[in-house]
Structure 1
Amino acid sequence: MTHSHGETDIEPTADEIREMSPEEAMIAGAAVDGIHIVHRRDRFPVRGTKAEKRAERGVALCFLISALGGLAFIVYFCAGKWKWHLPGTSQTFRFYTPVLGATLAIMLLFLGIGLILWAKWLMPEEETIQDRHDVASTDEEKLLTEATLIQGLDDTGLPRRSLILRSLGLAGGALATVPLVALVGAMIKKPGDQLFHTMFRPRPHDPDFTETKGLIPLVDSNFRRIGPDDLEPGGLATVFPGVRAENENGYNGVTDASSPTLVIRLRPGQKVKSRKGQAGFGWPRENPQYLAFSKICTHAGCPASLYEQQTGRLLCPCHQSQFQVLEDAKPVFGPATRSLPKLPIDVQTGADGRQYFVARSDYKEAIGPGFWERP
């Protein structure tokens, strides 16, 4: 054992250390390093008592609740409703962030409580005083440090407390998994083809569009149908798909973010240089005077709606991208690098004898700014 003479501690030899128990070697090692154990008492000198089992189950319960909190976070992160819905429809999306915050708090709170109770209920009670000094470690000190670590592991009770070990493993697994799910989970699911379609897609079997033969009418924000007579030469109008029924996310044709479209009437004498494959998208198909383009800028998604009718330029006010309408909305200035998608339109005669615009088909290309699968 280590002996003290005044303020000097005598290091035991390597052979003496090997003869010691781990606890004796730990105490000796502490003394050699200037750490004096003033008080040390095992919480449960008699192992396996009912009181010890109760304490062990209490700690394990905290770790189990922590693990369940992490599991609930992961499940709700993946399955919870988070998309915004219109008032009057299901508003469960409001609970998404609060539920994630609450389950994360439960996981961290009970993990912390479990660790504190473990230290206070099960590990030995100990008071120490340490002298401050800096010296190089000898071989004997390394052996004493090894013994301290072994004894420290034994003090935790992990080798004989499998219930706590398993529950701590669950809580630790949840603690490690939750950040990965939160950071990476939102990028795992592909958007499929939803970015390539809008509500202008024809609905030939929908009884609501029997009058238009399944084609989607172009309407204003009040669902009033728009026709050629509603635009003056050089004028434009913002139109939407005339779909009143809301989709699963609570949007209809007017409120859906992919819907806003500009119908532009050219001035007399203006001619269009159409892009390949899009010569018949305007109306009339021969020498079109009405054109329809997505209002969503292909740079960052802002509304491109400032039209200079003399030059035929359409301006996006966010970053000053300009599109030449007479060249099928080709970008001619600013950061945008892709033409505005063009909507194929036609005209039908309504029950009142007036002509109204309809979309002959959906957009032939994805609307909005670029994304990872777009060429």
Structure 2
Amino acid sequence: MAHEVDALEHERESWKPSSGLAVVVSDPVRNPELPPHRERMTDKDPAAMTRAVRTIYTLFYLSVAGSIWAIAAYMLFPIESGQIVDIRANNLFIGLGIALALLAIGIAAIHWSKAVMPDKEHVEDRHATRGRDETRAAAIEVFEVANEESGFGRRTMVRNSLIAALVASVAPAVVLFRGLAPFSTPTNPIAGDPVALLSHTMWEPGMRLAHDPTGEPIRAADVTIGSAVHVIPQPLAGLSHEDGYLEEKAKAIVLLMRLQPEDLIEPADRADWSYDGIVAYSKVCTHVGCPVALYEQLTHHLLCPCHQSQFDVTDQAKVIFGPAARPLPQLPITVDADGYLVARSDFTEPVGPSFWERH
């Protein structure tokens, strides 16, 4: 008995920490293991599995219908008509069709993975991967097992409806490419020629420059040094959307700036294209057609916000940075008898992206 008391006393003394801190000894953390597998209704009830499979391929076929509707809407509501009702309906119904097509594919794929594919948990120990024949054979076996478990090769209705939905979902995008440029017609032979369409704008000799969008004409005396004014041809303000307002504006928009006349670098053949330091350049970037509307007053640089092309206003809007391939087209200007700024002529080169001119 005395021996046991001495042993306990010795053990008590051995656990006294020298720093005065308590020491706690516990067992190592045990692996909680995976929770018990809970079967889904589709695992227990064949009828529920049948309903899930039917829902999946129904959603895939609904996606096909959405894609077909998007194509039909493109034809039923032609945006080329110029009618604002057709433009709105075109955007609305094509968007709804594409949204339905993609949403149905997503919902069906999620339902497939949650209700039909096996959801049993598997534990696989890590090991070094090797390029041996045995490893390759095992990889092939994994794909075969995955195919069998997913039912992709066995459930033909689900597989075929998925393939049909994916193929059909691309069709609206292919059809929409048709609208990138209208086709030529007997009454409008240049409709399908982008170079011809962009070579001429609404500007004519003597046409007044006006504020965008009010159409108020601009006096040269009202343009201050360092200012930048958004400009349209004055007659454009009176056009309606049905008369091609947006199409004409997209080509004819101009940015007007005033600098000190001595800051301008002008060749002899362009000496009369400006007026007392006032210059006008197309707002349509020569890269991909974004609006160039950011003017740095101190550096006299124009910046395109889309891809950061920069143009030097003092030197014929030449490209000094970015992907643009050529300078902005300059609109020749002067003043009329009343002091209003007017165009000398149309642009002398096509406006917009340079790739239209490439053959």
Question: Which of the pair is proportionally richer in helix?
Answer: 2
Question: Which of the pair is proportionally richer in strand?
Answer: 1
Q: Give the TM-score, by structure 1 length.
A: 0.48
Q: Give the TM-score, by structure 2 length.
A: 0.50
